[in-house]
């Protein structure tokens, strides 16, 4: 009777203990799998886990934007121009990638459209156009962009070709003002891209119309 009672007591004690440990092990295994999940680690790059544990699917627009802590008004004009340069070049590359061209021809065409001289021409047309009414904030960004593109302390900014002279005469490329225009234009695009996608679309459409006229004059297929 004593041995039977002892066995019963040991079994009654160990069973709930082993059950508890099984639950603990199972829970830890689930936590480990959760930590190693691609969606949790964001390896796939298309989802992230919110505080409530639910997944939030990220769009391509989210992935191609700075994090939510970014404050465009506090960014330097060169940083805005850095983003604007990428946005504008992607637009130009996408525009001319079809119909198919030889890689060298495509590259030369794209480079010709994104170079400072071409941007300066389009930018000045933007400033004199009645289609686009710039806000005070945009005018401030343009002013900051111009200042960032200006030479200072004897240091010349922009491509050397802009400063080239012909027998002491000013370069036909337009000089440093061209680079200032280019930087201001890119800063404006970068600011619009980060703050107002619809406004950015308006600006890009304006430049698309400008490129349409250039293409027609040069018989460029598109």
pLDDT at 162: 76
Residues catalogued as catalytic: 85
Reported as a single tens digit per residue, the pLDDT across 153-192 is 556 676 767 766 666 565 566 778 999 999 999 999 999 9
Asked whether the predicted pLDDT for residue 13 surpasses 50, the reply is: no
CB contact at 8 A, 175 and 158: no
User: What element of type H or E holds 19?
Assistant: helix 2-35
Distance CA 141, CA 77 (A): 7
Q: What percent of the chain has pLDDT over 70?
A: 67
Decide: 99 and 218 in contact? Cβ < 8 Å: no
Residue 176, pLDDT score: 84
Rg (CA), the chain: 30
pLDDT of residue 6: 47
Is residue 207 pLDDT above 80, yes or no?
yes
Q: Looking at the predicted structure, is the pLDDT value of residue 115 above 70?
A: yes
Name the average pLDDT for the chain. Answer: 80
Question: In angstroms, rounded to a whole number, what is the distance separating the alpha carbons of residues 61 and 84?
Answer: 15
């Amino acid at each position: 009777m004593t041995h039977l009672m002892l066995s019963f007591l040991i079994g009654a004690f160990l069973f709930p203990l082993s059950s508890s440990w099984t639950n603990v092990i199972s829970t830890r295994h689930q936590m480990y799998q959760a930590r190693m999940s691609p969606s949790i680690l964001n390896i796939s790059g298309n989802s992230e886990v919110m505080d409530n544990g639910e997944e939030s699917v990220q769009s391509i627009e989210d992935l191609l934007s700075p994090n939510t802590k970014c404050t465009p008004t506090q960014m330097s004009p060169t940083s805005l121009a850095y983003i604007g340069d990428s946005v504008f070049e992607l637009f130009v590359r996408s525009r001319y990638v079809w119909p198919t061209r030889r890689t060298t021809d495509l590259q030369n065409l794209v480079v010709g459209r994104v170079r400072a001289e071409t941007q300066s021409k389009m930018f000045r047309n933007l400033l004199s156009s009645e289609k686009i009414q710039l806000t005070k904030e945009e005018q401030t960004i343009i002013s900051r962009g111009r200042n960032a593109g200006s030479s200072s302390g004897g240091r010349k900014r922009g491509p050397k070709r802009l400063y080239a002279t012909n027998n002491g005469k000013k370069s036909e490329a337009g000089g440093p003002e061209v680079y200032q225009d280019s930087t201001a234009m890119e800063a404006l695009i970068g600011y619009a891209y980060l703050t107002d996608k619809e406004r950015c679309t308006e600006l890009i459409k304006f430049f698309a119309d400008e490129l349409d006229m250039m293409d027609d004059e040069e018989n460029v297929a598109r």
